Amino acid sequence: MQSLTIPRPDDWHLHLRDGTMLQTTVPASATVFHRAIVMPNLVPPVTTVNAALEYRARIMEEVPEGVSFNPLMALYLTAETTPGQVAEAAANDHIIGFKLYPSGATTNSAAGVKSVDALGPVLAAMQEHGVPLLVHGEVTDSDIDIFDRERVFIERHLIPITERFPELKLVLEHITTADAVEFVKNANNNVAATMTPQHLLMNRNDLLVGGIRPHNYCLPILKRRTHQQALQQAALSGSPKFFLGTDSAPHVQASKETACGCAGCYSAPAAIELYAEFFSRHNGLDKLENFASGYGADFYQLPRNTETIELVQQQWTVADTVDTATGPMVPYWAGSTLDWKLKR
């Protein structure tokens, strides 16, 4: 049986939700990943250091005994965020950066930013203090096609931001287009991107052909195959600008399978195996280690993990559902086979 040992990976983009959902989501990620950047789009959003530390404490209560897990908290960037809050965040090791959600772009983003142009003083403070900006890069204008929202956001906002603040560390999260790949590749070394398993393994045919498949619905939405191929080539290139961020986003089955289904793929139960599946399919397993366990830590100027995990080449089937205190969830890849399995 073929096996692969790599340093324990990190998840640089993760949704855990809150309340009783943490009983399910925290163990699923903590037993695999050593660190994770936890997204702040709760209701109400996590906008202050104190709120983030309280949220972190609730997460830590659900970490299984004997497991080492370090949740790094992102703060929700709003029009009310001040340079003083940036300085406060910079002084706390548990806070990793600020997340920019355009208002209305995704789940629980109503409190997000309506005017990126008005963020100048806050972005200047982030550049000064070395605090990363984590970006959901989509415009929300009603006249912009949903498949073009990432490209337009890059053109309107990200290129001007990187020109105005060249020392600002910026991560374009869960990229989905060839446009995003080119932007990150051509930007300075302070710019990087995370990639999800669903955007590497699927395109919009997997969402729409043969009927709408709500458990493959995420935002940014899956794009056409040519964009998927551009992402795949970037991941396989070995460039340190691209690294793992699952964007695992739990929603109970009843919320996904409804007339207005929630956006998000809950990939945590098979996250590292899904990435191994992608790299294996493309004869690139030698690239998995840096993608999953190296480049993200390097970008955030954190030490690489010394603990290891082992993946074995063994077929297994992802569970049809995952039980939670609020009802069953259907995980990403549910009922389908993967060729690599984490040895636990």
Query: SS3 for the chain, per residue?
Result: CCEEEEECCCEEEECCCCHHHHHHHHHHHHCCCCEEEECCCCCCCCCCHHHHHHHHHHHHCCCCCCCCCEEEEEEECCCCCCHHHHHHHHCCCCEEEEEECECCCCCCCCCCECCHHHHHHHHHHHHHHCCCEEECCCCCCCCCCHHHHHHHHHHHHHHHHHHHCCCCCEEECCCCCHHHHHHHHHCCCCEEEEECHHHHHCCCHHHHCCCCCHHHCCCCCCCCHHHHHHHHHHHHCCCCCEEECCCECCCCHHHHCCCCCCCCCCCHHHHHHHHHHHHHHCCCHHHHHHHHHCHHHHHCCCCCCCCEEEEEEEEEECCCCECCCCCCECCCCCCCEEEEEEEC
**What pLDDT score was predicted for residue 344?**
86
**What pLDDT score was predicted for residue 103?**
75
**What pLDDT score was predicted for residue 236?**
98
Q: What residues are designated binding site?
A: 13, 15-17, 41, 99, 136, 174, 219, 247, 251, 263
Which structure tokens are listed for 87?
A: 């300085």
Mean pLDDT, the chain, rounded, equals 96
Is residue 110's pLDDT more than 80?
A: no
Is the whole model's pTM more than 0.95, yes or no? yes
Query: Counting Cβ atoms within 10 Å, is residue 115 exposed (0-12), middle (13-18) or buried (19+)?
Result: exposed
Is residue 336's pLDDT more than 90?
A: yes
Q: How confident is the model at residue 102 (pLDDT cuts 50, 70, 90)?
A: confident
Q: Which residues are catalytic?
A: 247
**What pLDDT score was predicted for residue 112?**
66
Span 123-160, pLDDT tens digits: 999 999 999 999 999 998 999 999 999 999 999 999 99
**What pLDDT score was predicted for residue 331?**
98
Q: What residues are designated binding site for substrate?
A: 15-17, 41, 136, 219, 251, 263
Q: How confident is the model at residue 332 (pLDDT cuts 50, 70, 90)?
A: very high
Q: What residues are designated binding site for Zn(2+)?
A: 13, 15, 99, 136, 174, 247
Domains and CATH numbers, the chain: 3-342 (3.20.20.140)
**What pLDDT score was predicted for residue 24?**
98
Span 173-197, pLDDT tens digits: 999 999 999 999 999 999 999 999 9
Report the C-alpha gap between 175 and 153 in whole angstroms: 12
